[in-house]
């Protein structure tokens, strides 16, 4: 049994693949997003509104 590595998740799971770190894929996504968000901290919101303009 391993504890899930996702930020808000307190579940345990049985490791079925060698490098599984989360109880389910959505936890993996959340953990990755949280890490990404921490790195970019405040600029993330700017990116969302400003980056994809077809000029």
CA angle 47, 36, 29 (to 5 degrees): 110
Among 1, 3, 6, 50, binds Zn ion (CB under 5 A): 6
Residue 31 sits in the site that holds Zn ion (CB under 5 A): no
Q: Rounded to the nearest whole angstrom, what is the least distance from the CB of residue 22 to Zn ion in the complex?
A: 5
Burial class from Cβ neighbours inside 10 Å (0-12, 13-18, 19+) for residue 28 reads middle
Among 1, 8, 9, 52, binds Zn ion (CB under 5 A): 9
Backbone angles phi, psi at 29, to 5 degrees: -60, -45
Where does this chain bind Zn ion (CB under 5 A)? 4, 6, 9, 11, 22-23, 27
């Amino acid at each position: 049994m391993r504890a899930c590595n996702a930020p808000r998740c307190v579940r345990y799971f049985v490791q079925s693949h060698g490098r599984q770190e989360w109880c389910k894929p959505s936890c993996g996504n959340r953990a990755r997003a949280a890490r990404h968000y921490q790195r970019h901290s405040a600029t993330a919101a700017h990116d969302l509104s400003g980056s994809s303009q077809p000029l």
